[in-house]
């Protein structure tokens, strides 16, 4: 009898904690803010990648960079044919836009940076919802900070993208010493794809909160977001690859709907992970 009472009290306690948590984040419009972040991400992905491609194009031949960009995008999209097809489509559009607008050169970079900075601005607004608003700053000061963060973010994207060909080269160099097994085949490429998402989450939690957070909150936010994101990616990949619901409802527009839904999930996970880490911080 006592065990049943304890179990009942435990269930009620968990229920009240979850209910209060969901009620609190709903009152602060977490899901609406996440939708805004996802919308800005859809608008800003092309400017971000165009700037990255322009910078890389000044260093190496862009055609050698595009396959790595394809792999990089596939890492952050749902696994399977749908994610790969979307990544290929995005890279093709980026390549065509880059070839058309390459003559604009440095003239177009400020405009692209300004547009791309809207993505980090929306993430910053989301972090304000979680951690509170910092010191009052002018619009110009805040926008300059967003532009600097955008440049750093682009550099991180470029560095993460270059990790893939570096992994291939490293594996080729160490091939004679790697055991001849499917378990070790492509191990460095898999490791690179594995660590890329937490690096970007870490960047978000370090640079975007309006108030500097403790190392524990940053670490816990990154780990929670990484775990939830990989779990959501696994479930969402299974859903879009083994069900036909999206194709039936959206038809050819599924190529746009899938990344939109996935970006929304990513935004929700990013904010929820920060909120959970903040609440559980000692």
**Both tokens assigned to 232:** 């959501």
pLDDT per position as a tens digit, 125-167: 888 888 876 666 677 777 788 888 888 887 777 777 666 666 6
More confident residue, 270 or 190: 270
pLDDT at 105: 53
Left (φ > 0), alpha (ψ -120 to 50) or beta: where does 183 sit? alpha
Q: Which of 164, 190, 163, 170 is nearest to 178 (CA)?
A: 170
Q: What's the rounded Cα separation, in Å, for the pair 159 and 222?
A: 19
* Structural domain total, the chain: 1
Structural domain of residue 119, as residue ranges? Answer: 2-280
The pLDDT of residue 223 is 93
Report which of 164, 150, 170, 194 is spatially closest to residue 67, judged by C-alpha positions. 164
pLDDT of residue 8: 77
pLDDT category at 213 given cuts 50, 70, 90 is confident
Which residue bears the tokens 């191990």? 187
Backbone φ and ψ for 133, nearest 5 degrees, come out as -95, 135
Which is higher by pLDDT, 232 or 238? Answer: 232
């Amino acid at each position: 009898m006592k065990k049943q009472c304890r179990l009942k009290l435990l269930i009620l306690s968990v229920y009240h904690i979850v209910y209060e948590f969901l009620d609190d984040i709903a009152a602060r419009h977490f899901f609406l803010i996440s939708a805004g972040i996802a919308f800005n991400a859809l608008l800003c992905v092309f400017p971000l990648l165009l700037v990255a491609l322009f910078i890389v194009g000044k260093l190496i031949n862009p055609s050698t960079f595009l396959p790595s960009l394809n792999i990089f995008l596939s890492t952050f999209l749902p696994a399977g044919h749908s994610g790969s097809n979307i990544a290929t489509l995005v890279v093709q559009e980026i390549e065509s836009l880059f070839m058309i607008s390459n003559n604009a050169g440095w003239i177009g970079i400020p405009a692209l940076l300004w547009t791309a900075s809207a993505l980090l601005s929306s993430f910053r607004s989301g972090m304000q919802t979680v951690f509170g608003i910092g010191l009052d700053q002018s619009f110009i000061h805040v926008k300059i900070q967003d532009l600097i963060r955008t440049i750093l973010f682009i550099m991180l994207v470029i560095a993460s993208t270059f990790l893939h060909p570096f992994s291939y080269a490293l594996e080729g160099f160490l091939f004679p010493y790697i055991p001849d097994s499917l378990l070790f085949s492509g191990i460095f490429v898999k490791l690179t794809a594995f660590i890329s998402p937490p690096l970007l989450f870490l960047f978000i939690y370090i640079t975007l909160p309006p108030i500097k957070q403790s190392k524990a909150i940053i670490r816990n936010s990154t780990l929670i977001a990484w775990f939830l994101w990989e779990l959501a990616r696994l479930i969402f990949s299974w859903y879009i690859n083994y069900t036909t619901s999206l194709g039936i409802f959206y038809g050819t527009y599924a190529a746009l709907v899938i990344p939109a839904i996935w970006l929304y999930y990513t935004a929700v996970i990013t904010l929820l992970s920060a909120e959970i880490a903040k609440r559980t911080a000692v």
